[in-house]
């Protein structure tokens, strides 16, 4: 089991400024440990990148260091040609209990504004490879937002989702008001954001926030299975599919359909589209080369 390391990487880093992606890829292959997350490749073919948030004493509160490491691990998986999907999970008790309140307590407006506080979290939503959140326990505030930045959410039966920032005298700052509204609609989002009420896994499923609910001890393995299924398809075509679905949140129907059509046309520039259709006609399993 190869856990991967940020610190060892900085020791290995050559002098001179290495591009961020290159240094992340190097660090990924260095084989040692991050401080706040566990990172490895899972699945029979080791084609699913796996990131486990690992700050159990703080219920995986998303301190700055943790989110930087998540970004580094995502960069490394994005650059790894063997990885076709990524799973992010926490512990049975907490996916993540939100941004780190102790770290935020004494921040000033000036620091938040000039440092564009939380902007680097967006990396999770810009990864081209499909990302699955496997959520057990609390997914609150930034934890719920982190799950919603992922492409698919699987929940354990005891998962709880919420945006309780109002109880702290603030509001969601990493997409909660936007992504939750798109996922579950206005009324439930307003209720959650204005009262801090949480919803359980069943309600999250009924409202469309999560796609599947599993027993607590099966969520991660089911997410890995889903990742393996995705990884067996063409990586380049999966990225196009993801881009097209995400465009539905940004564009009008006409513009979205136009983009989808262009991406569909683009699949005809790939060897994998040819292979997929030829395999169907020849009644055999397609062998995608990600080209």
Half-sphere exposure of 162 (CA within 13 A, CB side): 19
Binders in 149-188 for ligand CAA, by CB under 6 A: 164-165, 168, 172-174, 176
Please report whether residue 97 would count as binding ligand CAA according to CB under 6 A.
yes
Please report whether residue 59 would count as binding ligand CAA according to CB under 6 A.
yes
b/e sequence 157-181, b meaning 16+ C-beta within 10 Å: ebbbbbbbbeeeeeebbbbbbebbb
Q: Which is nearer to ligand CAA, 123 or 212 (CB)?
A: 123
Binders in 119-148 for ligand CAA, by CB under 6 A: 138, 140-142, 145
- Candidates 289, 260, 257; CA nearest to 273 is 289
Candidate list 69, 72, 78, 145, residue with the active-site label: 145
Please report whether residue 90 would count as binding ligand CAA according to CB under 6 A.
no
- Pick the stretch among 46-54, 65-73, 93-101, 213-221 that binds ligand CAA (CB under 6 A): 93-101
Catalytic annotation on 115? no
- Rounded to 10°, the helix 64-79/20-28 angle is 90
Please report whether residue 263 would count as binding ligand CAA according to CB under 6 A.
no
Q: Which two tokens stand for residue 116?
A: 């564009």
Q: Which is nearer to ligand CAA, 78 or 145 (CB)?
A: 145
Q: Starting at the edge strand that comes first in sequence, how are the strands of the sheet with 152-156 ordered? A: 37-42, 48-53, 85-89, 131-135, 152-156, 212-214
Candidate list 69, 72, 78, 165, residue with the active-site label: 165
Q: What are phi and psi of 128, to 5 degrees?
A: -80, -30
Please report whether residue 72 would count as binding ligand CAA according to CB under 6 A.
no
Q: Which residues form the interface with ligand CAA (CB under 6 A)?
A: 58-59, 61, 97-102, 118, 138, 140-142, 145, 164-165, 168, 172-174, 176
């Amino acid at each position: 089991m190869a856990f991967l390391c940020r610190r060892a990487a900085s020791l290995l880093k050559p002098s001179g400024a290495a591009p961020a992606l290159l240094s992340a890829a190097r660090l990924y292959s260095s084989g040692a440990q991050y401080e706040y997350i566990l990172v490895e490749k899972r699945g029979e073919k080791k084609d699913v990148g796996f990131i486990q948030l690992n700050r159990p004493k703080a219920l995986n509160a998303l301190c700055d260091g943790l989110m930087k490491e998540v970004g580094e691990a995502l960069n490394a998986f994005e650059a790894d040609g063997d990885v076709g999907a990524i799973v992010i999970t926490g512990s049975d008790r907490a996916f993540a209990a939100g941004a780190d309140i102790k770290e935020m307590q004494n921040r000033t407006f000036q620091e938040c504004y000039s440092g564009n506080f939380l902007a680097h979290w967006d990396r999770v939503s810009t990864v081209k490879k499909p990302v699955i959140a496997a959520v057990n326990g609390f997914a609150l505030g930034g934890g719920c937002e982190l799950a919603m930045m992922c492409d698919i959410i699987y929940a354990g039966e005891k998962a709880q989702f919420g945006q309780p920032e109002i109880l702290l005298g603030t509001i969601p700052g990493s997409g909660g008001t936007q992504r939750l509204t798109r996922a579950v609609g206005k009324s439930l989002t307003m209720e959650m954001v204005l009262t801090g009420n949480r919803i359980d896994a069943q309600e999250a499923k009924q409202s469309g926030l999560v796609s599947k609910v599993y027993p607590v001890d099966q969520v991660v393995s089911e997410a890995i299975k889903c990742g393996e299924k995705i990884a067996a398809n063409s990586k380049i075509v999966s990225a196009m599919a993801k881009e097209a679905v995400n465009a539905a949140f940004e564009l009008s129907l006409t513009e979205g359909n136009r983009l989808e059509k262009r991406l569909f046309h683009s699949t005809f520039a790939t060897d994998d589209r040819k292979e997929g259709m030829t395999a169907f006609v020849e009644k055999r399993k397609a062998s995608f080369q990600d080209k």
